[in-house]
A and B are shown apart, each in its own frame.
Chain A
Amino acid sequence: MTEKEAKFLEGAFKRYYFEHFEMLGIPDRITEREFGFQRFDSGMIRHISLKTDRELKLLLMKEVPSDVYCSCACYTFPSMPMKEKDWKEADLIFDIDAKDLNLGCRADHTISVCGKCGRTSAQTGSCSACGSTGLETKSLPCRKCIAASKEQVRRLSDMLVRDFAAEPDAIQVYFSGNEGFHVHVSNSQFQQCGSKERAELVDYIMLNGAIPETFGMRKQKPRRDSFPDFGQWGWQDRFARAVYGSKSNRPKEITRLVQAGYASFPQTIAAVSERMGARIDPNVTVDIHRIFRLPGSLNSKSGLAKMHCTNLDSFDPYVDASFLVTDKVEVRADCPVRFALRKRGFGPYKDETVEVPMYAAAYMICKKLARIP
């Protein structure tokens, strides 16, 4: 991305923040949060403290950030260096990203862009134009990616409510602005928990570190009635649904498991984890100092906004999270994949000059698939 593209995006983003400031999710206890932002041409600036939403607005208009972040934690002194902030508590946060889901469709909409010459390339080894090995992969998530991510969100929410007794109202789901969803839980019993405790929650959610004994299996003479059953608590019920399928199937499946033996039980557990666990990013949940993207702010990887999802099922990010204007813009696009925004199809473009609405131009430029001529 050159200065031309950066300036273009800055203009587009600035206009968004000016016209849509009400979209921003001002966090509660704002004076105790740490804010951070990036600009198009510079790195992260952190340790910012704001007193009011007006100060936030001034920050956005003055700096025109490419990305804005806010801490999940509350501090006594948010603007001090990390050691001196005095951490008080933090919301529980989760990040679900389509790129972690190993979906079969990924290859169809992942493009390599050369960091040196900017050309797109099908290969992932070296650039077909200039031979440089500095290739970045860009993904244009498709419907399947979004649907799969939503499924992970549902699994996570179910666990949060049933197993962890989180209040459904306290669980906020957001589209991340690019390839997945963020889930925030506030006012739970876990507010004061540190990293190690949150790591245990992560392992629980992903069914990591489970031992066969938890599901009734023993090295010698496992008891049939110790095996999970439908309607039992948490993972017992999930195991039953994943492995038995139906009540009538239970005896047969238990026999099969017993015969297969203790040593092969971990494979069964792995399969249950895959079918019933939620694929979350452990690094995010465990980091009690994490700054997460501010709801309502724009994601510089796509130009889309991090949007609160009131109805997850019907949420369509390419319609509901696109807010940049429709003014026509001329760009030189090199985008081998077709994509849709606001129910309009764009591409594929083979290194050609095209006139597209600003929101589509921004999308491609953010993905380094277009330039300002």
Chain B
Amino acid sequence: MLELGQDEMAKYPFMADAGQYLRNLGFQLEQFGSDPDLKGMVDRAFERIRVAAEGQVYGSDIRDGRVSGDAELQREIISFLLAIVLLKLCGIQTLVRRFALAESRRAEKFLERDLTGRASGTKTELATRIIHDLFSIRVKKSDDFFVMRIADYLRRAVHFHERSWKLVNRRVDGGLVFLSPHETVRLIRAELGIYINTKINAARAPPMIPGFEGYVGELHQIAKKFSTGTVTGGEYPPCIKHAIDVLEKGENLPHSGRFMLATFLLARGQSVEQIAPLFKNAPDYNEKITLYQLNHLSGGSGSGTEYNCPSCQKIRMQGLCFAVPECDNIITPLQFGRRKN
């Protein structure tokens, strides 16, 4: 178990054992609901969540990576722990997720500064140890870079969509990827968010604490703002249009193209009987085999496996992408034409 000093606890409060910390300070949870002197802490906790819900990062009382005094240290940590209590009491997943994300971004800033080791060399060691203990990634310093195994990098990087994160655009040498401190920390943001999210979800929800009802009610109000509606467009993306066109002309569409077309149309709600005729002009068309394969794709056959429409990245790799501006960086063809409210 990583031993954290006082400064570190304030920077990375999610590593603290909540119950233990409060008990050590001699607090009971109920006191925060009834004692007017402690109400300020709950206000802070609520503020922490509200700010997170807006997509902002909570501005801490931590200057240059060090907390000024013990009292402020306590406020930092307690406000975090109380925020978790409030979240458990209101029980809304979207708020938990946004809070976890905001807290991970907050921790990122400290982690990055510690990795850079501008304050002291030992901070670097601590930061790399946190990364290792939480995520099992071994990160080593190499001049101004941080290096990790390619496989560890890829496991996280595949969730980023910007091209700069692709392995081909990274410095790669001897089985390792070289990253700046900022990139290293950015890489684990999602995982840190998941870690915090999991920790919150794993905590037991306490019964309602008198004095907390108002806060919880307000959180419900905030959460109402986050329901999104989507409008599904009817138009096909260019990759699908091209595939249909090729088949219509009687030319051969490679297996990957047929798979993409079939899974796309199935996902759009078309039936096997509606899709099958599209293939009738294919040079190697066989009605029985076509129906068999479409049935298999739709999960109709014995194994019940469901096949998803391939991602745009895969389609690009197979040479079947004919993107137009309307594609607008979508991840799969199924997103084409959708507008978010």
Contact string, A244-267, partner B, CB cutoff 8 A, digits 1/0? 000000000000000000000000
In the complex, which residues 128-185 of chain B have their Cβ closer than 8 Å to any Cβ of chain A?
A: 149-151, 154-155, 157-158, 163-164, 166-169, 171-176
The reply to whether A233 and B150 form a contact with Cβ atoms under 8 Å apart is no
A234 to B66, CA, bound (A): 41
* A228, chain B: closest CB distance, angstroms: 11
Contacts of B37 in A (CB 8 A): none
A330 CA to B171 CA, complexed, in Å: 60
Complex CA gap A282/B157 in Å reads 19
Min CB gap B292→A, angstroms: 10
Which single member of A133, A190, A233 contacts B173 (CB below 8 Å)?
A233
| A197–B154 touching, CB < 8 Å | yes
- A211 and B164 within 8 A (CB): yes
The answer to whether B97 has its CB under 8 Å from any CB of chain A is: no
**B283: A residues at CB distance < 8 A:** 133-135
Binds B, one of A12-20, A170-178, A198-206, A363-371: A198-206
Residues of B within 8 A of A233 (CB): 171-173
Name the interface residues of A238-291: CB closer than 8 Å to any CB of B. 282-283, 286
Bound Cα distance A346, B250 (Å): 36
Task: Report B43 CB to chain A, min CB distance, Å.
Answer: 44
User: Is the beta-carbon distance between B317 and A210 smaller than 8 angstroms?
Assistant: no
In the assembly, what is the distance between CA of A135 and CA of B250, in Å? Answer: 13
**CB < 8 Å: which of A135, A192, A207 contacts B168?**
A207
Q: Is A163 an interface residue (CB 8 A)?
A: yes
Residues of chain B contacted by A207 (CB below 8 angstroms): 168
Q: Are B303 and A83 in contact (CB under 8 A)?
A: yes
Kindly state whether residue A213 has any CB partner on chain B within 8 Å. Answer: yes
- From B171, B173, B305, name the one whose CB has the most chain A CB atoms within 10 angstroms: B173
Which residues does chain B contribute within 8 Å of A204, judged by CB atoms?
166-168, 172
Whether B317 lies near A202 (C-beta < 8 A) is yes
CB-CB contacts below 8 Å: B6-22 with A: none
Distance in angstroms between the alpha carbons of A214 and B163 in the assembled complex: 10
Q: Provide the residues of chain A in CB contact with B172, threshold 8 Å.
A: 163-164, 204, 233-235
CB within 8 Å for A203 and B168 given contacts A133-B283, A209-B163: yes
B271 on interface, CB distance cutoff 8 Å: no
Cβ distance A213 to chain B, nearest Cβ, rounded Å: 7
The distance in angstroms between the C-alpha atoms of A202 and B167, with both chains bound, is: 10
Question: Is there a chain B Cβ closer than 8 Å to A189's Cβ?
Answer: yes
B305 partner residues in chain A, CB cutoff 8 A: 81-83
* A165 x B318 contact (CB < 8 A): no
Contacts of B317 in A (CB 8 A): 199, 202-203, 208, 282, 286
Which residues of chain B are near A283, meaning CB under 8 Å? 256, 318
Q: Report the bound CA distance from A199 to B310 in whole Å.
A: 13
Q: Does A193 contact B (CB under 8 A)?
A: yes
Q: Does B314 contact A (CB under 8 A)?
A: yes
Contact between B303 and A189 (Cβ–Cβ < 8 Å)? no
Q: Is the CB of B154 within 8 A of A200?
A: yes
| A-B contacts, CB under 8 A, total | 94
CB <8 Å contact, A81 and B158: no
Q: Is A196 an interface residue (CB 8 A)?
A: yes
Given known contacts A82-B305, A163-B173, is B158 in contact with A197 (CB within 8 Å)? yes
**Chain A residues bordering chain B, tally (CB within 8 A):** 36
Instruction: Specify which chain A residues have a CB less than 8 angstroms from the CB of B164 in the assembled complex.
Output: 211, 213
Does the CB pair A203–B167 fall under 8 Å?
Answer: yes
Q: Is the CB–CB distance between A197 and B155 below 8 Å?
A: yes
* B235 contacts chain A at the CB level, 8 A cutoff: no
With the chains together, A164 CA to B256 CA distance in Å? 28
Nearest chain A CB to B260 CB, angstrom units = 12
Docked-complex contact A165 and B174, CB < 8 angstroms: yes
> Given the complex, which residues of B lie within 8 Å of A203, measured CB to CB?
166-168, 317
Shortest Cβ gap from B247 to chain A (Å): 14
Type the 1/0 row for B39-72, where 1 means its CB is closer than 8 Å to any CB of A: 0000000000000000000000000000000000
Given A163-B172, A233-B173; A134-B151 close (CB under 8 Å): no
**In the complex, how many angstroms separate the beta carbon of B139 from the nearest chain A beta carbon?**
15
Closest to B165 in A: A200
Which residues of B sit under 8 angstroms from A213, Cβ to Cβ?
164, 169
A209 touches B174 (CB 8 A): no
B313: interface (CB < 8 Å): yes
Are A164 and B284 touching (Cβ within 8 A)?
Answer: no
Using A81-B303, A133-B283, A282-B317 as known contacts, say yes or no to A192 and B151 having CB atoms under 8 A apart.
yes
Residue of A nearest to B302 (CB): A81
Query: Complex Cα distance A214/B150, Å?
Result: 17
- A169 to chain B: closest CB distance in Å? 15
- Asked if A199 meets B314 with Cβ closer than 8 Å, knowing A82-B303, A134-B284, A209-B169, the reply is yes
Query: Is there an interface contact between A214 and B168, defined as CB atoms closer than 8 Å?
Result: yes
* B150 in contact with A208 (CB, 8 Å): no
Say how far B176's CB is from chain A's closest CB, in angstroms: 8
Most chain B CB inside 10 Å of its own CB: which residue of A197, A213, A234: A197
Instruction: Tell me whether B175 and A165 are in contact (CB under 8 A).
Output: yes
* A196 pairs with B158, CB closer than 8 A: yes
Bound: A366/B256 CA distance, A: 26
CB under 8 Å from chain A, chain B span 63-87: none
Residue of B176, B250, B317 contacting most chain A CB atoms (<10 Å): B317
Q: Which residues of A contact B169 (CB under 8 A)?
A: 209-211, 213-214
A163-B175, A200-B168, A210-B168 are known contacts; what are 9 more A-B pairs with Cβ within 8 Å? Answer: A82-B303, A82-B305, A165-B174, A189-B149, A199-B313, A201-B167, A203-B167, A233-B171, A283-B256
Q: What are 23 A-B contacts with C-beta separation under 8 Å?
A: A82-B305, A133-B250, A134-B284, A162-B174, A163-B174, A164-B175, A189-B150, A189-B175, A190-B150, A199-B158, A200-B154, A200-B168, A204-B167, A204-B168, A208-B168, A208-B317, A209-B168, A210-B168, A210-B169, A211-B169, A213-B164, A234-B171, A283-B318
A residues engaging B (CB < 8 A)?
Answer: 81-83, 133-135, 162-166, 189-190, 192-193, 196-197, 199-204, 207-211, 213-214, 233-235, 282-283, 286
Q: Which 9 A-B pairs have the closest CB atoms?
A: A165-B175, A233-B173, A197-B154, A196-B158, A81-B303, A214-B169, A189-B151, A200-B167, A204-B168
Enumerate chain B interface residues (CB-CB to A < 8 A).
149-151, 154-155, 157-158, 163-164, 166-169, 171-176, 250, 256, 283-284, 302-305, 313-314, 317-318
